[in-house]
Structure 1
C-alpha cells in the first residue's frame, strides 16, 4: 500500500485526453505564432486560412462527394480534422478547456479507446448532420461537436446514476439544456453561424454511443436481447 503522502494531490488526466489536448494546442500554437509572424516567415500569416481551406469540414465538398460518388481521403478526413482547427485563439482556448474538463470526467470511467471513439465519432456525425440539416456554405471548424459528444457521455453517466438511486433522471440533461440555451441566446444577440446544430448532434451521438461503450455495455445489451 502506498503512503498517503506519496500520492499526487492532482489526479492525472487520462492519456488519451492529454494526447487530444496536446494535438489541439499544438495546431493552435503553430497557427497563432504564424499569424503573429513569430515563426514561418511572411507566408505564415496565411497559415490559418490555409488550414481552414484544407481541413475544415465543408458541406459543399460533402455534396460534391455524394453527387459524384468520389470519396478522396483528402476530403473524407475533414469529418474529423476540422475538430483540431479553430477560427482564432479564443475559439481554441474555450474548446481546449472544455475538452480537458469533460474528457477527464469521461475518461476516468470509460476506456481510452472508448473516450477517443466518442470524441471522434461525435465530431464526424455532427459534421454529417451539419451538412444534411443546414447545408451551409460556411465551413465547420472547432472541437466543439466532439466535446459535446463527451458531454453526452457524461450526461449518460449522470443519467444512469440518478436512475440507480431513484432520482429524476431528467436532471441529467440540465447541463446540455443550459449550454444550448446560452448558444441560442448569443446567436440571437450577436448573430453568427448556427453551428450549434453540429454540437447538439454530437451530444446525441455521444449519449447513444455510451450505451455500448460504457464498461460492460455490450454485455448488458446482449443480456437484454437474450431476455427479449
Structure 2
C-alpha cells in the first residue's frame, strides 16, 4: 500500500537565492581559510585585500571613468562583483542571512529571473549612486545594496497587499525605516559610514522594479495608469 507524500513542512528556498548565498559563503570561506594559513600558502593571507582591490567598487574609479570617457571591463565588472567581497566574516554573515530571509519571501512570488534581476540591478544602482554622490576614494563592499533591493521588492508586496485590504499602505515602509534607524544608531556609536547611501538606492531600485518584474505587475501598472 503506497501513500502520496504530504506537503513539505517548510517551503524550499528558491534555487537562485541558494546560488547567491553559496557564492557569498564560498568566497568568505576562502578568505577565512587563507587568513588562517589553512589554504593557499603564505600569500593567501592577503586574499581579501587583493580581492577588494580587484573586485570592490571604488568611487574614485567611477570618477576616473566619467572624466576620461574610458570604461574598461576590468572596472565595469566591479558593479556586479563587489556584492561578493565583504570586509569581514561578520559583514558577510549578516548579508548572507538577510539574503536568505528576503530572497525566500521575494523569490516565492517573483520567480528566479525576476529575483536575480532585482538583486543585480539594485547592486548596480546602489554602486552608481554611491559613487556619483560621494566621489573620493571610498570603497563599497558586500551584498547589502542588493539585499536592500530585495527589501524594496518585499516592501512592494506588502504595499500592494495593504492596498488591496484598504489599509494604510505607508505601513509597508516600517521595515526600511527600522533598518535605516539602526544604521543611524550604529553610525552615531561607531562613526559615520556612507554605505547607507548605496543601501537606500538599492531599496528604491528594488521597489520600483517590482512594478515591472512582479507577476502581472506591468499589467496592473497599465490598468492603474488608465484609471488615473
The correspondence of residues 180-195 of structure 1 with structure 2, limited to 5 A, is 180-195=180-195
Q: What's the C-alpha RMSD, in Å, of the aligned pairs?
A: 1.6
Instruction: Count matched residues.
Output: 227
Give, in whole Å, the separation in 2 of the partners of 1:136 and 1:142.
Answer: 19
Q: Secondary structure at the match of 1:182?
A: helix
Tell me what 2:161 maps to: 161
Tell me what 1:102 maps to: 102
Give, in whole Å, the separation in 2 of the partners of 1:192 and 1:86.
Answer: 18
What's the offset of the Cα at 1:8? 2.4
Conservation of the 8 A alpha-carbon contact between 1:138 and 1:193: no
Q: Secondary structure at the match of 2:140?
A: coil
What's the offset of the Cα at 1:135? 1.5
Tell me what 1:125 maps to: 125
Give, in whole Å, the separation in 1 of the partners of 2:133 and 2:171.
Answer: 28
Conservation of the 8 A alpha-carbon contact between 1:127 and 1:198: yes
TM (normalized to structure 2)? 0.95
TM (normalized to structure 1)? 0.95
Is the alpha carbon distance of 1:7 and 1:168 closer, same or farther for their aligned partners in structure 2, counting shifts above 3 Å?
same
Give structure 1 stretches of 5+ with no counterpart.
none
Tell me what 1:221 maps to: 221
Give structure 2 stretches of 5+ with no counterpart.
none
Conservation of the 8 A alpha-carbon contact between 2:21 and 2:96: yes
Runs of 4+ in 1 over 6 A off after TM superposition: none
